[in-house]
Structure 1
Amino acid sequence: ERTQASGAAGRALGPAGGGRGDRCRYIPRRHHGGWGQVYLVTGGCGFLGSHLVRMLVERSPNVAEVRVFDLQLDPALGQLGTGEVKVTLILGDISSPTDVGAAVKGADVVIHAASLVDVWGRVPPEKITEVNVHGTKNVIDACIEHGTQYLIYTSSMEVVGPNIKGDPFYRGNEDSAYDAQHEQPYPLSKAQAERMVIEANGTPVRGGRWLVTCALRPTGIYGEKHPLMKEFYEKGLQTGRRLLRAIPVSTEHGRVYVGNVAWMHVLVARQMQEAPAAIGGQVYFCYDASPYKSYEDFNMEILASCGFRLLGSQPVVPHWLLRCLALANDLLRRLLRPFFSYAPLLNPYTLAVASTTFTVQTDKAQRHFGYQPLYSWEESRARTVAWLQEEPTLL
């Protein structure tokens, strides 16, 4: 279904080098006294968003302004501006069409990274839908209304899987057949939002051009400011930096460094303007040279340098017991919801994800827009370790 949707949307722009594709080609505007583009990053103060903003300022040519749109602003990002690039902080709610429209107006490229990530039941499902689905519709509508041609959506591997049946996805690519079945609000919302973005490709926008869209699917981001890594670290301190193995070594997951995900966004933003018919309507997995390992073993690649130890070469806790604990946690969460929030990391969904192999093997991004990882695995790991060791709230 995903392949059919992508293909249909891609065909809406016509063949490369002709048809509507030519009319989507970027015509530069004058901004701030010179020729350049305005980029808008929704969710720009979040984990990935802040790396995107920095990458655009430091490594993207022909950028006049980077707008940072978020519900909570980080003043430090405003200091990243240079004589050539202006950084503008915009306080706003992605679920408000008025706020989104004001931010999009005058932008050339929108990177829609704003998302409410919750797989633990900490947030009501309707709030997840409001932000991830309705917020995405607001972005699409604003691009159409204000004539913004280029929209990149930060999707997720969870639009594909792992599915609730536990079927492995081993070295798959963007066209691999996989029975994606979802029950949780977060993957459902991301899948719906991605589909909306891809189907919007080729839609006429104000000014006589057409909207060009694509989606990037990170397969598990790590790096500086990663909130879940910080949570793992803090919980590990409570157990004396000793962690018990719960997942078999044979279970593998794809991980990708946040700097490389940001770099991929920058590259595809350039190429979709040069070859809109080739990029429009496409989805891309995010990948780099980070090793395929279980979540536990990968995290130890980072945490071992901070004095952590993973005990056991085989799972110390049997899977049936983990399953019982996950079900008990989910039951307690439901029972206690009227009184207070109880949402531990372990629940049936997170256990299924951690226990199911999901790895990708693809060069689609390299073929379509020349992507090569900007950071090696060694540098990615070193930068993440340095952040953990320097973060004053963690040590």
Structure 2
Amino acid sequence: MSDGRSLVYLVTGGCGFLGRHLLGVTLEKEKRVCEIRLFDKVVDPRLTEQSTGTENVIQACVELGVQYLVYTSSMEVVGPNVKGDPFIRGNEETPYNIAHAMPYPRSKAEAERIVVRANGTEVSGGKTLHTCSLRPTGIYGEEHQLMKDFYDKSVQAGGRLILGVPKNTEHGRVYAGNVAWMHLLAARGLMEEPQTVGGQAYFCYDDSPYKSYEDFNLQFLSAFGFSQVHVPLAALWFLAVLNDVLRWLLRPVCRWAPLLNRYTLAVACTSFTVSSDKARRHFRYTPLFSWAECRARTQAWVDTFPGLGAKKDS
């Protein structure tokens, strides 16, 4: 904060998918902003731990007298776990058997602990650092690389969608613009009611429909006329186990990270839906974009994909 009225925001990862949405929402909705600084870098994909980087951010806040920090965590700090235990409309207090089997959720959980623990730390100038953490469910929207990858793989498969997740699986998806909006509201909450918001973690969801990841993506890709090939779940589990074994065997010579493994398949097949009621109570979060707006914006972007015929001709 540069004075009593003007705000300076630093967005780490500001050139990424969520960072671009956060920039747009902040410029549109934060009337007191006088400057937004974007910080980004290319990260070596071999690096899996985030805790050191998070500690560096906290230290920078201490040295520079920064008072407010909102951390982008993930629902995966809670689950789904590889045992397939469902989590239905859960909140931040819902009991769950948390078991981190992969580096991403493990490092996210550790980074979140560091951020929450830093709440109340004294910073330069005798001020106090106030922190909170947001846990989005599966984020989607314009420029979402995973949705683009889903489309590209279908094109590479000759216009076939390879499906295998049980139809009754439900996941909570959240539009990137609404995630950005919650970040802005959480930052305001830290400034206005630090005794309530500080040191807290919040699930982040909107009004997007509960569907499996596959069915959710199909809502946007159906116009391409892909045929659907349903693979038995048992076959997918066999391939996932095989990939894990091959990854272990190849570890001494190279780092191979197949998209399909036991963890990713467990996540895809396990129902995991959350409630954002705590965020509504603590800093008055409601989605900025309705489901109709989220769908229209995402569909407009998907409609720019070249289509199956154009891919074949290229």
User: For the superposition of Structure 1 and Structure 2, which TM-score range results when normalised by the shorter chain?
Assistant: over 0.9
For the pair 1:235 / 2:153, whether they are aligned, the reply is: yes
Contact 1:172 1:362 in 2 (8 A): no
Offset at 1:137?
0.5
**Contact 1:252–1:358 (CA<8 Å) still a contact in 2?**
yes
Matches within 5 A, 1:46-61: 46-61=16-31
Deviation digits for residues 54-109 of structure 1 (CA, Å, limit 9, x no counterpart): 2111211111110000115xxxxxxxxxxxxxxxxxxxx8xxxxxxxxxxxxxxxx
CA–CA separation in structure 1 for the residues paired with 2:232 and 2:207:
31
- Whether the aligned pair in 2 keeps the contact of 1:289 and 1:377 (CA below 8 Å) is yes
The amino acid across from 2:177 in the alignment is: G
Q: Quick check: 2:224–2:307 contact (8 Å CA) kept in 1?
A: no
Which of 225, 230, 244 aligns to 1:307? It is 225
Bigger CA drift: 365-374 or 250-259? 365-374
Q: Judge conservation of contact 1:305–1:385 (CA < 8 Å) in 2.
A: no
Alpha-carbon RMSD across the aligned residues, in angstroms, is 2.0
Kept in 2: contact 1:329–1:347 (CA 8 A): yes
Change in Cα spacing, 1:309 to 1:337, as seen in structure 2 (3 Å) is same
1:29 equivalenced with 2:29 (yes/no) = no
Deviations 1:8-38 (A, max 9, x none): xxxxxxxxxxxxxxxxxxxx534xxx95111
- Equivalence map 1:224-263=2 (5 Å): 224-263=142-181
User: Is 1:137 aligned with 2:55?
Assistant: yes
Instruction: Indicate whether 1:209 and 2:127 are aligned.
Output: yes
Structure 1 gaps, min length 5? 1-27, 73-92, 94-115, 117-122
> Structure 1's 58 and 258: CA in aligned 2 closer, same or farther, altered over 3 A?
same
After TM superposition, the structure 1 = structure 2 runs for residues 230-379 of structure 1, keeping only pairs within 5 Å, are 230-311=148-229, 316-337=230-251, 342-379=256-293
1:128 maps to 48
Unaligned 5+ segments in structure 2 are none
Aligned residue runs from structure 1 range 376-395, under 5 A: 376-391=290-305
Structure-2 separation of matches of 1:295 and 1:281: 31
> Is contact 2:73–2:136 with CA below 8 Å preserved after alignment?
yes
By how many angstroms is 1:331 displaced? 2.3
Task: Note if contact 1:42-1:49 (Cα within 8 Å) is conserved in structure 2.
Answer: yes
For residues 110-141 of structure 1, the C-alpha deviation after alignment (integer angstroms, 9 at most, x for no partner) is xxxxxx9xxxxxx43xx111xx1110000011
**Contact in 1 for aligned 2:82/2:262 (Cα 8 Å):** no
Q: State whether structure 2 residue 120 is matched by structure 1 residue 147.
A: no
Q: Distance in 2 between matches of 1:289 and 1:348?
A: 29
CA–CA distance in structure 1, aligned partners of residues 275 and 181 of structure 2: 19
Q: Percent identity?
A: 60
Q: Which residue of 2 aligns with 1:13?
A: none
Q: Match for 1:249: what amino acid?
A: K
Maintained 8 Å contact 1:252/1:293: yes
Do the aligned residues in 1 keep the contact of 2:89 with 2:275 (CA within 8 Å)?
yes
Count of residues in Structure 1 that have an aligned counterpart in Structure 2: 309
- Quote the offset at 1:378 in angstroms: 1.6
- Higher relative CO (Cα under 8 Å, sequence separation at least 6) belongs to 2
Q: 1:39 and 2:12 equivalent?
A: no
Amino acid at match of 1:390: T
Contact 1:300 1:308 in 2 (8 A): no
What SS does the corresponding residue of 1:250 show, helix, strand or coil? coil
